[in-house]
Homo-oligomer: A and B are copies of this chain.
Amino acid sequence: MSDEAGAALTRDGTFSRRTEVVIREMILDGTIPPGERLNEVALASALGISRGPLREAIQRLAGEGLLTMISHRGAFVRTFEAREIDELYDMRCAYEMYAARLICQRADDEQLAGLESFVADTGLAMDDTNGRYPPDRDFHRRLLALAGNATLERAALDTQDQISLARSMSAKAPTRAKAALGEHEAIVAALRSRDADTAVLLVQEHLEHARRGALAALGFTDDPRKGNETP
């Protein structure tokens, strides 16, 4: 990333796959902001490859929901309507609520202890974060990993990436760091006592809070299921 673009894909593998990860990083970095078009000839020459493998990488990223493709007009970094963000949070709910259920069945105590100490450590480190809470993402990643379902984990991480991209449309940060930490602690406690119903409920409530925070930060004040308004 700090390298020049052309040198960024000198490792092994096909150009197509390396290009995919480079562009994904550029999108999630903000190097290419939402709404911006990917000029194929410019991007290909910047990456030192031809348009063929670049286009293949673009197809895959579009399938992941990070790019929007319009016929004869090109690929654009995806932008999100309020409705779409709301739907993505539904997805997160579906994934993580079920993951919590799986964890109660499958995860061993050692794994849960690891998650618990992670929450404790990040709680100590969090003092003057001005409402930001960077470990939140990692907490959810670890949670999903403990469910022991690689398919579910990947799908959920893709959804996380889309939400992350959507949030990058606004510079406003969430302001509920301490609340989020407390909710994480409560979720872990429920998991440790293998209380699936409580864990699922706590995950749902936690994500509902996150949903409202995200929609507010992006300036979507109304109910996204009614009408749309741009910030």
Contact = CB atoms under 8 A, between A and B. Distances in A.
Interface of A: 13-14, 16-17, 52, 55-56, 59-60, 62-64, 71, 84, 87-88, 90-91, 93-95, 97-99, 102, 106, 148-152, 155, 225
A149 B90 contact: yes
Contacts of A106: 225
Nearest to A92: B98
Contact of A155 (B98, B99, B155): B155
Contacts of A59: 16, 56, 59-60, 63
A90 B105 CA distance: 13
A98 to B, nearest CB: 4
Contacts of A52: 52
Contacts of A71: 13-14, 17
Nearest to A87: B151
A155 B90 CA distance: 12
A56 to B, nearest CB: 5
Nearest to A71: B14
Majority secondary structure of chain A interface residues (helix, strand, loop or mixed):
helix
A85 to B, nearest CB: 10
Contact of A94 (B63, B98, B150): B98
Contact of A55 (B13, B56, B88, B151): B56
Nearest to A57: B59
A168 to B, nearest CB: 18
A12 to B, nearest CB: 10
A207 to B, nearest CB: 11
Given A56-B55, A63-B64, A155 B91 contact: yes
A35 B56 CA distance: 23
Contacts of A16: 59
A47 to B, nearest CB: 17
A98 B93 contact: yes
Contacts of A225: 106, 148
